């Protein structure tokens, strides 16, 4: 398999391209400093950059404004503003196996949408028991035997001749306007792919887990646009729906992967210098699993992909990103008694002092308040990561500790309950608390089983090991 093509060198955002600061980005020091992004970062603006960014919108007019806009995009501090809609030079590629009703539903939705009715469609039949018939101008590429979704997408990619390819799984139904929301992003010549938000399919089969899956699907990357890269808030996007630049993909997906092939592709694209983005203004509905057993098996299956990714991408797949100092501080807060808590507070104060020294500019006052804020936010984020690790990725270790210690048992129960309630609260009008907390615990147990099974099968522990945050 050939990897993605390297991003073109020396290209910049075109004149007329606009970006707007993320609403969560905070201006400080009279606009000279920006705080935001994922991971959280502080960006100091030179006087010329500060003048260019006098308001929250930046229009590219020359090389300088293009460089600043690119820096803001890559830092996650700003997002592209929708621009003119280009001609949709797109081929829709649909991999399918033994889903005739779902495929017919998807093709009907494409034909009914004026924006996609005239687009070429390639259906890749990956060894269906009843071969897919070519109808309505749809081209069918058939694999005599099943080769997996990655190989099916690659066959569709090879059959396409357009500049862009939209991958859609057969159990998806795009909503009106999805393509129009994605296409303007490709005005950025360094953008390889952009993904829509995956939402529940109305009218699909429902089960006990469905209200939880509606708000916590593993395919839903949330309501906020984002730059997609490893170890960030949106570290991947699913290939269930993805618009990509054909020239960037090279050989496409790794056909040797039956799981996590989309994560692998995104990380290889980013490693080759391309941008990848997530755009929730575009929505594609997906038929989520409704049967509890099927849902749990799917979650465990996703977990097995981590070991395969670790073999290719190393520490990028780590389930726990935490600084050693933050880990020690939390250990002292939770298990060190009164003396330990005092030492932990001292460590937190020391972190704030070091940050203040690094942030201080010559001739200016030491930014003690900002340093304290960053230190507390960093500790809180580390605590959240540690709690998530204990209930999801490393729950076998947490369970062993709970069986051996009453204090650890109480702590694990408290963390499991608090994590479930905090995750439920934003969706309290859509799912009940008991169902949400219980489903989240089952979700984490199933994923953890798959994660450990994959690591044991691969005899590779890297998918389980913590790493330091990137500098």
pLDDT per position as a tens digit, 227-284: 999 989 999 999 999 999 999 999 999 999 999 999 999 999 999 999 999 999 999 9
Check whether residue 56 and residue 110 sit in a common domain.
no
Asked whether residue 295 is assigned to any structural domain, the reply reads no
CB 311 within 8 A of CB 226: no
Question: What pLDDT sits at residue 306?
Answer: 96
210-226 per-position pLDDT tens digit: 999 999 999 999 999 99
Judge contact between 329 and 379, C-beta under 8 A: yes
Q: Is residue 406 part of a domain?
A: no
Residues 222 and 334 in one domain: no
- pLDDT for res 471: 65
In a domain, 249, yes or no: yes
Are 94 and 236 within one domain? yes
Specify whether 148 is located in the same domain as 226: yes
Confirm whether 371 is domain-assigned. yes
Q: What is the pLDDT of residue 2?
A: 67
- pLDDT higher at 441 or 333: 441
Provide, rounded to the nearest whole percent, the portion of the chain with pLDDT above 70.
Answer: 99
- Average pLDDT of span 153-158: 97
Cβ of 422: how many Cβ atoms within 10 Å? 11
Where residue 225 sits, what CATH number does that domain have? 3.90.550.10
Residue 398 lies in a domain: no
The CA–CA distances, whole Å, from 12 to 5, 20, 69, 392, 407 equal 17, 17, 10, 41, 56
Q: What is the token pair recorded at 367?
A: 């930014």
Predicted pLDDT at 356: 87
- Report the C-alpha gap between 100 and 83 in whole angstroms: 37
In this structure, are 108 and 130 located in the same domain?
yes
Residues 193 and 73 in one domain: no
Q: Is residue 418 part of a domain?
A: no
Residue with tokens 């309501």: 223
**C-alpha to C-alpha distance for 421 and 415, rounded to whole angstroms:** 10
Helix (H, G, I), strand (E, B) or coil at 256: coil
Q: What are phi and psi of 400, to 5 degrees?
A: -60, -40
Mean pLDDT of the 440-446 span: 98
Q: How many domains does the chain have?
A: 3
What pLDDT does 338 receive? 85
What are the tens digits of pLDDT across the range 360-385?
Answer: 877 777 788 888 988 998 899 999 99
How confident is residue 127, by pLDDT bands cut at 50, 70 and 90?
very high
Verify that 72 and 97 share a domain, yes or no: no
Same domain, 41 and 121: no
Top-confidence residue, 448 or 327: 448
133: domain range?
Answer: 90-290
Report the C-alpha gap between 159 and 153 in whole angstroms. Answer: 10
- Mean pLDDT, all residues of the chain: 93
Task: Read off the DSSP letter of residue 125.
Answer: E
Q: pLDDT by residue (tens digit) across 51-104?
A: 999 999 999 999 999 999 999 999 999 999 988 888 889 999 999 999 999 999
76 plus 95 within the same structural domain:
no
Report the pLDDT value the prediction gives residue 317, as an integer from 0 to 100: 94
98 with 74, same domain: the answer is no
* pLDDT value at 117 more than 60: yes
pLDDT of amino acid 198: 98
pLDDT at 86: 84
What percent of the chain shows pLDDT beyond 90? 79
Has residue 197 got a pLDDT over 70?
A: yes
Q: Which of 338, 354, 385 is a domain's end point?
A: 385
In the predicted model, what is the mean pLDDT of residues 127-149?
Answer: 93
Assess whether 63 and 141 both reside in one domain.
no
CB-CB contact of 450 with 302 (8 Å): yes
361 domain residue, yes or no = yes
Over residues 294-308, the mean pLDDT reads: 97
Q: Is the pLDDT of residue 185 over 80?
A: yes
Task: Write the pLDDT tens digit of every residue in 15-62.
Answer: 999 999 999 999 988 888 899 998 888 888 999 999 999 999 999 999
Among 271, 290, 309, which residue terminates a domain? 290
Q: In the listed set 346, 368, 385, which residue is the last one of a domain according to the structure? A: 385
Each residue of 388-439: pLDDT tens digit? 999 999 999 999 999 999 989 999 999 999 999 999 999 999 999 999 999 9
Biggest distance spanned by C-alpha atoms of the chain: 76
* Phi/psi at 469 (5° precision): -65, 150
Q: Is residue 449 part of a domain?
A: no
pLDDT of the residue at 9? 87
pLDDT tens across 311-364, in order? 999 999 999 999 888 999 998 988 878 888 899 999 999 999 988 888 887 777
pLDDT of 3 > 80? The answer is no
Distance CA 319, CA 390 (A): 11
175 and 147 both lie in a single domain: yes
Predicted local distance difference test score (pLDDT) of residue 259:
94
Helix (H, G, I), strand (E, B) or coil at 272: coil
């Amino acid at each position: 398999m050939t990897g993605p093509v390297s991003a073109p060198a020396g290209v910049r955002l075109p004149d007329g391209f606009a970006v707007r600061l993320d609403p969560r980005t905070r201006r400080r020091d009279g606009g000279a400093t920006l705080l935001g992004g994922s991971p959280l970062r502080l960006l100091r603006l030179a006087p010329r950059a500060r003048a260019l960014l006098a308001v929250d919108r930046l229009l590219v007019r020359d090389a300088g404004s293009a460089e600043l806009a690119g820096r803001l995009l890559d830092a996650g501090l700003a997002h592209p503003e929708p621009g003119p809609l280009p001609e949709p030079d797109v081929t829709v590629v649909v991999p399918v196996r033994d889903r005739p009703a779902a495929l017919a539903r998807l093709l009907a939705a494409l034909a009914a949408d004026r924006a996609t009715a005239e687009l070429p469609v390639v259906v890749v039949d990956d060894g269906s028991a009843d071969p897919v018939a070519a109808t309505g101008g749809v081209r069918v590429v058939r694999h005599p035997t099943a080769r997996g979704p990655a190989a099916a997408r690659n066959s569709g990619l090879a059959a396409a001749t357009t500049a862009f390819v939209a991958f859609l799984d057969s159990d998806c139904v795009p909503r009106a306007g999805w393509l129009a929301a994605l296409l303007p992003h490709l005005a950025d010549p360094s953008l390889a792919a952009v993904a829509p938000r995956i939402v529940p399919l109305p009218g699909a089969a429902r089960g006990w887990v469905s209200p939880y899956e509606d708000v916590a699907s593993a395919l839903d990357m949330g309501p906020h646009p984002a730059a997609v890269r490893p170890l960030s808030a949106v570290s991947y996007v699913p290939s269930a729906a993805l618009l990509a630049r054909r020239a960037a993909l090279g050989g496409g997906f790794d056909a040797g992967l039956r799981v996590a092939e989309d994560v692998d592709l995104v990380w290889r694209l980013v490693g080759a210098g391309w941008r990848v983005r997530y755009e929730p203004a575009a929505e594609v509905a997906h038929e989520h699993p409704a049967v509890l057993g099927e849902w749990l098996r799917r979650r465990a299956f996703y977990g097995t992909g981590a070991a395969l990714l670790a073999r290719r991408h190393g520490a990028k797949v780590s389930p726990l990103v935490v600084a050693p100092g933050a880990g020690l501080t939390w250990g002292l807060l939770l298990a060190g008694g009164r003396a330990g808590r005092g030492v932990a507070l001292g460590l937190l104060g020391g972190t704030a002092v070091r940050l203040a020294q690094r942030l201080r500019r010559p001739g200016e006052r030491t930014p003690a308040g900002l340093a304290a804020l960053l230190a507390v936010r960093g500790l809180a984020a580390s605590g959240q990561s540690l709690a998530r690790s204990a209930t999801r990725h490393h729950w076998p270790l947490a369970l062993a500790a709970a069986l051996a210690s009453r204090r650890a048992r109480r702590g694990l129960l408290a963390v499991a309950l608090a994590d479930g309630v905090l995750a439920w609260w934003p969706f309290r009008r859509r799912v009940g608390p008991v169902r949400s907390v219980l489903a989240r615990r089952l979700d984490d147990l199933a994923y953890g089983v798959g994660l450990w099974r994959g690591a044991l099968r691969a005899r590779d522990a890297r998918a389980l090991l913590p790493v330091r945050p990137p500098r």
